[in-house]
Structure 1
Amino acid sequence: MSRLKRDPRLVLLFAAVLTALLGAVGTGGSGRLTNGGYTAAGTESARANRLLEQRFGAGNPDLVLLVRAAHGGVDSAAAREQGLRLAARLAAADGVGAVRSYWTAKDSALRSKDGAEALITADLAGADRDAARTAKSLVPRLTGRHGALAVSATGPAWVSVEAGRISEHDLVTAELFAAPVTLLILMLALRSPLAALFPVVIGAVSVVGTLALLRLLTYAMPVSVFAMNLTSALGFGLAVDYGLFLVTRFREELRTGSSVEEAVARTARTAGRTVAVSACTVALSMSALLVLPLPFLRSMACAGIAVALLSAAAATVLMPPLLTLAGRRLARPARLGAVVRTPRRAPRTAAPGRAARGKRTAWHGPAPEPVWQRAADAVTRKPLFYGAGCAVALVMLATPFAHARFGLSDERVLPVRNAALRTSADIRAHFATPAERVLTVVLPDAHPVLDRAALDAYESQVRRLDSVAAARILPAHDAVAPPAVGAAAPGAVLSVTGPADPQSAAARKLVARLRALPAPGGHLVTGRAALLVDTAKAVRDRLPLAAGILVLATWAMLFLLTGSVLLPFKALVVGALSLTASFGLMVHVFQDGHLRRVVGDFAVTGTLDMSMPLLMFAIAFGLAIDYEIFLLSRVKERYALTGDNRLAVVEGVARTGPLVTTAALAVAVVTGALATSGITVLKLLGTGLAVAVLVDATLVRGILVPAFMTVAGRANWWAPAPLARLHSRLHAPPRPQREDISSAIAAAKPSMSASVVSKEHIQRTSPLASSQK
């Protein structure tokens, strides 16, 4: 182990072998992913679905075949013969449960209005991924031409297969686009191909580890088929950011005159700690999703937490040996990484401000970027004007979110030209009662014969309700599989045809009326509209807990960093405000259907999946707080040196602006590559995250944050005495290194003592003072 620590080549060799093994583990993992988990468990509709499956042997079909008859319609003799043969072939296949067809069930709901089409539905055995595996093997053999019939497929299981196939293809396309563009951005920023290559290598290792991690996670819980794309993009983006932070800090240390070994050690100690805090920030943001009752969000939370920690581990383990081997070849002039060379007549050791009384602090940091310095200087001179204007602009961008409508994902997440989506659209258009319009009322204690009069009266009452197009009592032996011999299975099912849009306000009101209407022996209501109502209520009930976890964890982490009571609250408010623009964009583009030529065509449903804003908020908020930490750490360092709040804010923004912007641009490219996907969910997340990150790194960090911190003044750094003592014990500042003090003293004038350099002298020699002159 000691030899491994001494020789960086052994570390890299070990990492290469481990990466190859992880690549082998991750191969083929997409076959274990599922497309589901968007509805809450334990609700009334979930209990009704479970009762339908357990007692009656029925439920929502996993596979739906749309059969078109060429001549004579589906009632012709040829169509009937071919249809019965097709249904029997489906029923005889492995993994197939109950099968219903128009020709066997004699159900008019399975026949199109013009009689040219009919449906065959099938329940597939096993969990969602087992059903998808069965559909993957069956559909290619069952679709196409069968004599006089033309067959196409849809249904949740086949949609899951198609979504997995498309997302896997889109993952490769996005990576082929994101990697070279990210490399180009880093080369322009760092002005060194070798320095730019290191973060990309870390990102590639992180992606390989992410795919292996997802496969291992599928053995513990169902994982969404879209997790592969999102977590790979997140892992690559975070790893590139972390690698960029480490490379930049290493170059700073080299330009202070440190040896390569000293520079690597200081980089691991300083920037490595920043990387660890950043990973914890993203992980804590994602952990808030664990308390929400949606399996999709819980699986994404687990994957996101693990990916953030994996990206940090890859960066902190691999970058030190890479930097050691590269050595001074990385010490070239660059915009990111240039340092302030302390002139002999202008020492950089000064009397500290109130935040660090009695301690000597040397300022070694990246040189301020003139553009960012001028912008920060202008903002801090008129903070109310610029801050209020920026806040108003963000709120105006968020106004479309005021009319957001939330729904559930279905097959319309697929590309508009996908065969499964077109088949579902044909069923909606040509059949009187498509499955999504049907609300099913389960009457578990009603006897289909003994309670017939009560059931007929209940059916009549339901038909008189608003928005009910049709209602029909189906006894158990008619609606589902026949009971066992000699047993009279109690229970009945009421099939109710509701509004055409199951996610409309009228559909939600109908669910409430059905549940309030007394029924023989009690009842449970399910169906798409009921699932939406129950899921929305379950999410609303848990949102305060999730928000509390996010607020407390973020506040505590930022308090430990800054020792301030106000700054953590400011970060929470500003972090939420920075997402408003992307939320407004989500509604304007993906709900209302504008700008489709910009992001690519997709099916407009008039709603947003309710899980998407929650997922996007967790990821984007973690990234926003991540950039906040990097900025505050620099501002706090400068404030501790000078005690001048405005000077600290200006130089903190000026020195971190280029690095944060480059890091955010890299993340925006990686997540924005998801917008090229044909899957609407990935397109929405990629577009929203890219906009959120860019808005946060420019408008928020460049205008809103410095404006607020300027207005707050010394209150930024205030804390009650008990909390201040707690912070001093838990977060003591690192002791200055001996060589840092020695170099600062040697650079000073012999007649000027480092312990008595005045605050005015620091201001005169600062870049801000130079620019003002």
Structure 2
Amino acid sequence: MLTSSARFAMARPRAVLVAALLLMLVCGGFGATVKSHMVGGGYLTGSLESVRANDFITESFPGGNPNLIVMVSGDGGVNSPEVRAAAQRITDELSHDSTVTGVQSYWANSATRPDLASALKSEDGHRGLIMATVTGTDTEVQNRAAELSNQLNGDRDGVQVRVGGMAGSFADINHQVEKDLVLAEAIAVPVSALLLVLVFGSVIAALLPVGVGLFAIAATLGILRAMTTFMDVSIFALNMTSALGLALAIDYSLFIVSRYREELANGRDTRAAILRSVQTAGRTVVFSGLTVALALAALAVFPQPFFKSFAYAGVAVVVAAVGASVLLLPAALMLLGDRVNAWDLRKPVRRLLGRGEPTPKQPEETFWYKLVTGVMRRALPVAAVTAAVLLALGSPFLKAHFGTPDDRVIGTFASSRQVGDALRHDFNADMAASAVVALPGFHGDAKEIGAYASRLSQVSNVPAVLSSEGVYVNGAKMAAGVPQMTGPDGAYLSVGTRIAPYSAEGKQQLADLRAVPAPGEVLFGGAAALNEDTMDSVISRLPLAGAIIAIITLILLFLFTGSVVLPVKALLLNLLSLTATFGAMIWVFEQGHGASLLGFTSTGSIDLFMPILMICLAFGMSMDYEVFLLSRIREEWLASDRSPEANTRSVALGVARTGRIFTAAAGLMAVVLLAVATSEVAPMKLFGIGLALAVVSDATVIRGLLAPALMRLMSTANWWSPKPLAALHKRIGLEEESSAAAEDDRAVALAR
């Protein structure tokens, strides 16, 4: 298949490149508006109890569970004429908006319901709240919230207006993610090009991976836009899949172009060098891409749109990166020939410094060969010390605390973050964190509602419970209730809280509330319930996703190597590398070390969605380097006498021939990922820094130290397989015969 695709590209290179350019323009134009069609978050599914509670209240009691909070403040206090006039103007605007329901405010209730008004006024009396519900689909809610933020936010005549709440938070995050993508690509593309020039020397060779990377970005935007027509796609997929497409395209192009230049240096002509590069490095690229795609496909077992959008988009993006690498590069290389080495910037630099041309080094003379042979002479202590260090780095992972993200994922410059901080610190109860208790179908005695509210109000750190029968504090009725909280479809209650919903204390409070005897079926909603239900939903699917990734890895590496030992070794090394990476991420992002330097707020928990996504991506990328390394080691092994000494030499030569390339590839991928980490949204920082660390540590510590040490200790057992499996591999495995060079000559003759 690869030989056929290479022949096709070589036979009509200009047509292939023109078609690719047209496709790039179409995808880029079609995908230019993708952001406005994406959803913020994507963490929820309709089957969760908390979602059903929120849906019941939204449908039966419009405005009963507000998602938009407008904070109005002024130095003269909430009752100053300026603040009151501004609040009245905003209330009128929202009340006449067909997409907004259930508008209530401090100023409307200050005379008629002072008990309610007190919850909507800050403790210092300078801030008051207007709450409402923006209706529609997730996308419609976020787009309308963004419009309201632009319309209402601002400082006028000594009055400050800030828009927040869940809808406001997602609107701010969407806007920031879009801005961050532009900045990340503006950093990643030119820096990657510069580094590629340093790796290749030649400007022409360096521009090839960049060109394939730009094609991958355009294809990504088109793929994401197409997906939004039939499913919800998370806004976070915009940055992450674009970064993934760019990084993989550059990585894969680097492998193929490097092999092509190596084959030219060995005396092959252009056609033979292209064919050999595609059959070897191209084969590795396809296999690596298949591994990454299948690791991402495992995310589809989770019900959340966040994961499903990454599963489908990630697979499509990997396919685009692989396809571009194995089809566009042969066409470009066919046109360039040996001019791929043109514009070598190292030559004028050497002349300027008065240095002559460097003499080519044999593999045995390289740094990597010397490093690996030194490691293998001390294989046992190197393996033991390296494993111990990685486990120590991973130890914070044992104390990880997970939660769903809130407004604190974005910086304090965002209005939703300012509203959230004020609610947490300046109000008696955090209105955005209040729990709602739905009683669908309840038609019992109204006094039962009052008794239930009284019991709920006695739970620790609950300042008040609001029901149709009254406002209850510490079990006592303090004021009249709100009749509209009971209707023909049932009833609901609102439970205030003084505790952060995602904390361990918030989880315990929710358990205490759920333990209170209820007058019939109840559904708990609100921030704490959404968090717990979501965590349970995700964690219950983790074993299945992990099993799928492990089985896929073992099968694919067996087909690639014919060994049952090497796949198990690769699986264990990847787990060890990931453990160390995520331990470091817990230390930084959950425990807050370096928060001020990196510009984020530590909340004492970490978003569970990101580690799961990163595990799949990092696992796939680690297999990328594993496959690339094993392919060269296996080439040497198949050409050897299969002795223990040959195993040691094959490992050293394999690392020597690939060490510089996959280290450069890891560095380039790290640049792309760290560009994503410049985001002002904390999960994107976690994603970029975490994956960059995983990639770099895997390409250096794992491939340079631990993998060679273990392969030396296992000796010829590396290549062992039971006879039935060995026979199976002989029939269906991905073999690369030692006579490939002769086959290449016949293929070249046919191509001509």
- How does the TM-score come out when normalised to structure 1? 0.86
Counterpart among 656, 665, 677 of residue 658 in structure 2: 656
Deviation string for 1:313-353 (max 9, x for gaps)? Answer: 111121011101110123689999xxxxxxxxxxxxxxxxx
> Once the 2 structures are TM-superposed, how far is the Cα of residue 289 of structure 1 from its aligned partner?
1.2
Equivalence for 1:159: 169
Which amino acid counterpart does residue 523 of structure 2 have in structure 1?
Answer: L
CA–CA distance in structure 2, aligned partners of residues 413 and 320 of structure 1: 44
User: Which has the larger displacement, 140-149 or 301-310?
Assistant: 140-149
1:460 to 1:59, Cα distance in 2 relative to 1, 3 A:
closer
SS where residue 443 of structure 1 aligns?
strand
Structure 1 residues 152-191: aligned runs within 5 Å: 152-191=162-201
> Once the 2 structures are TM-superposed, how far is the Cα of residue 67 of structure 1 from its aligned partner?
1.2
CA–CA distance in structure 1, aligned partners of residues 622 and 678 of structure 2: 24
> Once the 2 structures are TM-superposed, how far is the Cα of residue 112 of structure 1 from its aligned partner?
2.1
1:580 to 1:479, Cα distance in 2 relative to 1, 3 A:
farther
CA–CA distance in structure 2, aligned partners of residues 267 and 81 of structure 1: 73
SS where residue 528 of structure 2 aligns?
helix
SS where residue 676 of structure 1 aligns?
coil
Equivalence for 2:262: 252
Structure 1 residues 176-575: aligned runs within 5 Å: 176-330=186-340, 367=363, 370-447=366-443, 451-474=445-468, 489=488, 491-575=490-574
Q: Any gaps of 5 or more consecutive residues in structure 1?
A: 337-364, 744-773
CA–CA distance in structure 1, aligned partners of residues 310 and 276 of structure 2: 35
> Once the 2 structures are TM-superposed, how far is the Cα of residue 77 of structure 1 from its aligned partner?
6.3
Q: Any gaps of 5 or more consecutive residues in structure 2?
A: 347-360, 471-479, 746-752
Deviation string for 1:231-270 (max 9, x for gaps)? Answer: 1111111000111111011112222322211222222222
CA–CA distance in structure 2, aligned partners of residues 147 and 475 of structure 1: 41
Equivalence for 1:14: 19
> Once the 2 structures are TM-superposed, how far is the Cα of residue 580 of structure 1 from its aligned partner?
2.1
Equivalence for 2:675: 673
Contact 2:503–2:605, Cα closer than 8 Å, also in 1? no
Identity score, percent: 40
SS where residue 520 of structure 2 aligns?
coil
1:189 to 1:83, Cα distance in 2 relative to 1, 3 A:
closer
Counterpart among 584, 603, 608 of residue 605 in structure 1: 603
Structure 1 residues 651-730: aligned runs within 5 Å: 651-730=653-732
CA–CA distance in structure 2, aligned partners of residues 641 and 594 of structure 1: 50
SS where residue 525 of structure 2 aligns?
strand
> Once the 2 structures are TM-superposed, how far is the Cα of residue 422 of structure 1 from its aligned partner?
1.6
Count of residue correspondences = 707
- How does the TM-score come out when normalised to structure 2? 0.89
Equivalence for 2:616: 618
SS where residue 28 of structure 1 aligns?
helix
Counterpart among 25, 28, 47 of residue 23 in structure 1: 28
> Once the 2 structures are TM-superposed, how far is the Cα of residue 656 of structure 1 from its aligned partner?
1.3
Alignment of 1:44 with 2:49, yes or no, is yes
User: Which has the larger displacement, 230-239 or 106-115?
Assistant: 106-115
Equivalence for 2:586: 587
Deviation string for 1:581-637 (max 9, x for gaps)? Answer: 221221121112212354x21122111111111111111110001111111111122
CA–CA distance in structure 2, aligned partners of residues 86 and 384 of structure 1: 71
> Once the 2 structures are TM-superposed, how far is the Cα of residue 224 of structure 1 from its aligned partner?
1.7
1:182 to 1:148, Cα distance in 2 relative to 1, 3 A:
closer
SS where residue 34 of structure 1 aligns?
coil
> Once the 2 structures are TM-superposed, how far is the Cα of residue 113 of structure 1 from its aligned partner?
2.3
SS where residue 441 of structure 1 aligns?
strand
1:590 to 1:480, Cα distance in 2 relative to 1, 3 A:
farther
Structure 1 residues 92-107: aligned runs within 5 Å: 92-105=96-109, 106=113, 107=116
> Once the 2 structures are TM-superposed, how far is the Cα of residue 70 of structure 1 from its aligned partner?
4.5
Contact 1:62–1:157, Cα closer than 8 Å, also in 2? yes
User: Which has the larger displacement, 10-19 or 233-242?
Assistant: 10-19
CA–CA distance in structure 1, aligned partners of residues 466 and 175 of structure 2: 39
SS where residue 639 of structure 2 aligns?
helix
Contact 1:443–1:523, Cα closer than 8 Å, also in 2? yes
Deviation string for 1:129-171 (max 9, x for gaps)? Answer: 1112212322332233566743211123332232222222222
CA–CA distance in structure 2, aligned partners of residues 742 and 215 of structure 1: 41
Which amino acid counterpart does residue 395 of structure 1 have in structure 2?
Answer: L
Contact 1:673–1:686, Cα closer than 8 Å, also in 2? yes
Equivalence for 1:55: 60
Contact 2:203–2:344, Cα closer than 8 Å, also in 1? no
SS where residue 98 of structure 1 aligns?
strand
SS where residue 671 of structure 1 aligns?
helix
> Once the 2 structures are TM-superposed, how far is the Cα of residue 499 of structure 1 from its aligned partner?
4.2
1:492 to 1:193, Cα distance in 2 relative to 1, 3 A:
same
Contact 2:162–2:418, Cα closer than 8 Å, also in 1? no
CA–CA distance in structure 2, aligned partners of residues 716 and 542 of structure 1: 33
1:429 to 1:238, Cα distance in 2 relative to 1, 3 A:
same
Which amino acid counterpart does residue 517 of structure 2 have in structure 1?
Answer: P
1:511 to 1:400, Cα distance in 2 relative to 1, 3 A:
same
Contact 1:416–1:602, Cα closer than 8 Å, also in 2? no
CA–CA distance in structure 1, aligned partners of residues 581 and 296 of structure 2: 18
Deviation string for 1:489-546 (max 9, x for gaps)? Answer: 2533232233422122222122223223321122111221111211121122111111
User: Which has the larger displacement, 112-121 or 460-469?
Assistant: 460-469
1:142 to 1:381, Cα distance in 2 relative to 1, 3 A:
same
CA–CA distance in structure 2, aligned partners of residues 172 and 459 of structure 1: 50
Which amino acid counterpart does residue 435 of structure 1 have in structure 2?
Answer: M
Contact 1:467–1:507, Cα closer than 8 Å, also in 2? no
Which amino acid counterpart does residue 609 of structure 1 have in structure 2?
Answer: D
1:698 to 1:47, Cα distance in 2 relative to 1, 3 A:
same
